[in-house]
Amino acid sequence: SASSLRLSKKPLLNRRNFSTSHDGKRIGIIGGGLAGTALAYHLGKLGRGKDVALFDQNQLGSGSSWHASGLINQLRGSSIDKYGVEFYSKLESETGESVGFDQCGSITIARTDERMTYFERTLTKAKVSGFDAEIWSPSEVKKRFPQIRSEDIKGALWIPKDAVVTPSKAIRAMAKAAQGMGVKIHENVSEASIRSDGKRVTGIDLAKDSFGCDVVVNCGGIWGRSIGKKANVNVPLHSIQMYTGLTNSMPGLSKTPIIRDPDAQIFIREKDGQLLIGSFDHDAKSAFDVVPDKFHFGSLNPDAQHFGSIFKNAKHVIPSLA
């Protein structure tokens, strides 16, 4: 189980005792969310595990990853999207850790002719990349998923191998596998600053120790801009508010696919017998000018008025929500 994972508590490594291989470059990763742990895992797979250390200022996955929606989609039609589905489908068997992987498929609704043209292009890219996709008429949508309102749509794109995952579980699984390949992981590391000689990175300085490295990868997520400033690098990143809501438990949701309506700016997925409703919000509000250092497992104050328009669109897509 995930509780069996034991993170390294040994003193941090320095230049003298840090083992090297390949080109000899030591790599420090700042941030232990989905991006940071995935990078550590894949560097381990490349045989670089003993050259890598990952640092998180709190617990792994305690930033924005803990409430991520967990959608794994191939809508862009790229080979990397296809790889993502394949990767997460095998992660549980490789690590022995449940990651909540469910290959439920996805249906993306089109309300305009322009959106249908985009779907045609996506279908072409899907064939090149080697993953399955189909374009459905409104009547086909109604036949396959009668819970979706279909009389006012142009059609939909069906991708049967799209999936969902539980982000927190996936992080623990990747961390466990990365450690098994030699990566050192350190949690509750505060006050990290990036050291350089004026030309290149030389290490990461911490409150009570230091770590010598040749490469630093900023995987800080919502803290990425602040981390960049410590190295005099401007990261064009700003945190915005994103609201999601859960319905009450509803029967018969086990076969519900991911539902996207980009023209209405919403997505819907099944989660533990409920529906999770979220938004691709074009009018999102700023969350912070500067993200607080202690905003771990944090949530924003509810904004019923803002979420009301999101829920209104969701009820239009699935009338039974009304």
What is the secondary structure of 135-200 as a DSSP string? Answer: EE-HHHHHHH-TTS--TT--EEEEETT-EE--HHHHHHHHHHHHHHTT-EEE-S--S-EEEE-SSS
**Pairing label, strands 184-186, 52-55:** parallel
How far is residue 264's CA from residue 266's CA, in Å, rounded to a whole number? Answer: 6
The pLDDT confidence band at residue 8, using thresholds 50, 70 and 90, is very low
Decide if 255 contacts 233 (C-beta within 8 A): no
**296-309 mean pLDDT:** 83
pLDDT band at 193 (very low <50, low <70, confident <90, very high): confident
- The most confident of 64-68, 273-277, 307-311, by mean pLDDT: 273-277
Average pLDDT in the 123-152 region? 91
Residue 283: the pLDDT is 78
Q: How confident is the model at residue 16 (pLDDT cuts 50, 70, 90)?
A: very low
pLDDT (average), residues 195-201: 89
pLDDT at residue 28, as a whole number: 96
Band of pLDDT at residue 23, cut at 50, 70 and 90: low
User: What's the confidence (pLDDT) of residue 24?
Assistant: 65
Q: Say whether pLDDT at 7 is over 70.
A: no
**Given the structure tokens 């350190």, which residue do they identify?**
186
Encode pLDDT of 122-137 as tens digits: 898 888 888 899 999 9
Distance CA 135, CA 123 (A): 8
Q: Is the pLDDT of residue 309 over 60?
A: yes
Out of 5-14, 214-223, 311-320, pick the least confident.
Answer: 5-14
pLDDT of residue 151: 94
Q: What's the number of CA atoms in the CB half-sphere (13 Å) around residue 118? A: 16
pLDDT of residue 17: 39
- Tell me which residue of 205, 182, 174, 175 sits closest to 21, measured CA to CA: 182
Q: CA nearest 116: which of 144, 156, 78, 174?
A: 156
Arithmetic mean of pLDDT, 29-45 = 97
Compute the mean pLDDT over every residue in the chain, rounded to the nearest whole number: 87
pLDDT score, position 14: 39
Q: Which of 49-63, 102-116, 239-253 has the lowest mean pLDDT?
A: 239-253
Q: Which of 158-162, 226-230, 279-283 has the lowest mean pLDDT?
A: 279-283
Q: Given a cut of 60, is residue 10 above it in pLDDT?
A: no
Write the CB contacts of 51 (distance below 8 Å, at least 6 apart in sequence).
18, 19, 20, 21, 22, 24, 25, 26, 27, 43
pLDDT tens sequence across 262-295: 999 999 999 988 999 999 877 788 888 888 888 8
